[in-house]
Structures are given as C-alpha cells and as structure tokens.
Amino acid sequence: MRRTERYKIEGANSLWHVYNTVSFLKVMKCFIFIQIGRFTPFMAMKNWLYRTFLRMDIGEKASLALMVMPDTMFPERISIGANSIIGFNTTILAHEYLIDEYRLGDVKIGSNVMVGANSTILPGVEIGDGAIVSAATLVHKDVPAGSMVGGNPMRIIFTAEEMAARKK
C-alpha cells in the first residue's frame, strides 16, 4: 500500500481546485527550474538546481537523465539516494488529483538504485537501496531493497536473494 495523505474535495474535481492546494507561483517556479534541469546535460548543475530551488533531497553522485520529470507541485517530497540513476523520461510524482480527493505522498528512492527509462513512480512509494526498476515500469507500490522489478502492473522479477544467487 502506498503511503499518501488524502484530502477530500467538494464540488468540481480536485484538479479544478489545484491552486487552492498549491500556490500558482510555486508551480511556476518549480516548472521553470524543472524545465531547465530536464535539458541540462551536467549532473552536478542539475542536482544543484533541484536541491537549491526545489528543495529536493538528492544524494551525492545521483544522476537524473535527460528529460526526467520530477513533480512540479511538490518536488520537496522527493528524495533520491547517493549514486542512483533515474533513466530518460522518467516521471516522479508526489501528488495525484482524483475526482473527489487529491493525495500527497513522499517518494523515497534509495542509494545505488537504477530506474530504467520511461518509468513512472507514483506518490507514497519507497524504492529500497540497490533495487533495479526495468524500463517502462509503473511503480505503484514499494520496491524491496536489492530486488529487480518491472512491468505494468509492476511485479517482482527477482528478489535480492535470487539476484545474489544469479551473480555466483
């Protein structure tokens, strides 16, 4: 189960009320810095932008590939551990707007994690240290440390123990 906070909305769908939940100026600031970061080829500069202006927790030597899309409304709820790689065009969401409610949840990506290209990480999930997420995966629940997961819906392909046995 994902760890999200739920906020009920009356009347129109929750996205209609978006600027009651987050300030327009914050969204604009985040959008601008994320767009700059998405095209920045220098990892150190990208991490500095995201740490400084978006308050994201990004570990040393973490690499966000070209076109990675962190959450534009709540990027401060994303943490990425040291030496992790987030693949091309991956989306990391810390919010979701539904018809009758919106949800917020922290996304915690451990150290030495590999997330393949074109994946989507939903709010409220944790990806454990050393995990591998295959390309085009919808990460809708926690990923155990050291495991390999993939698909839509996401499933465990190998556990940490099975991965260790394969390396022998």
Q: How far apart are CA 99 and CA 120, in angstroms?
A: 21
Q: Is a pLDDT exceeding 90 seen at residue 72?
A: yes
Q: How far apart are CA 23 and CA 26, in angstroms?
A: 5
- The mean per-residue pLDDT over the stretch 95-113 comes to 97
Give the residue ranges of DSSP H helices in the chain.
18-21, 24-39, 43-54, 160-167
pTM for the full predicted model: 0.96
Q: What rounded mean pLDDT belongs to the chain?
A: 96
| Percent above pLDDT 70 for the chain | 100
Sheet (strand 57-58) strand order: 57-58, 78-80, 107-109, 126-127
The residue with tokens 């500069």 is 45
Indicate the pLDDT class of residue 146, thresholds 50, 70 and 90: very high
- The pLDDT value given to residue 163: 77
Q: How far apart are CA 129 and CA 135, in angstroms?
A: 18
- The mean per-residue pLDDT over the stretch 107-136 comes to 98
- Which amino acid belongs to residue 85? I
pLDDT tens-place string over residues 4-54: 999 999 999 999 999 999 999 999 999 999 999 999 999 999 999 999 999
Q: Phi, psi at residue 17, to the nearest 5°? A: -100, 20
Q: Which domains does the chain have, with CATH numbers?
A: 5-167 (2.160.10.10)
- The pLDDT value given to residue 107: 98
The residue with tokens 């767009």 is 35
Cα 81 off chain centre by:
12
